[in-house]
Amino acid sequence: MNERTIILFLQIIRGNGCVDELLNRGFEYSQIGGFFVQCKAEGLLVESKGKTTLSDKGLLKLNELNKKYGRLNTEQWISPDDTSIVKRLKKGEIYVPEGKKLNLR
């Protein structure tokens, strides 16, 4: 799991959010479950009273990664959609996305 995915996953856990964003990025439920197991094994998550939250180590890791990537203010709460990032084009080039990326039916 790359660091940006770790940030998103920890944000979801911290905010008691929905995994739809991970699904939209192409991950499967089994992979998300694997993230959960991995983070729990690393001590980033704790369970108490049937609820999973970030441990102190998890909060520290999230803050560390936010600083590493220069994520300030609202960027710490909202993850950018990395799937929409396009490589820099040369002057005069035109970007035409694939039909799959446009969700054309």
1-33: per-residue pLDDT in tens? Answer: 788 889 889 988 988 888 888 888 889 999 999
Nearest of 73, 58, 78, 79 to residue 4 by alpha carbon: 79
Mean pLDDT calculated for residue range 48-74: 86
**This model's pTM is above 0.95:** no
Determine the topology of domain 3-79 in CATH. Answer: Arc Repressor Mutant, subunit A (1.10.10)
Mean pLDDT of 31-48: 92
By three-state DSSP, how is residue 52 classified?
Answer: strand
Q: Which of 67, 66, 63, 39 is nearest to 52 (CA)?
A: 39
The residue extents of the domains of the chain are: 3-79
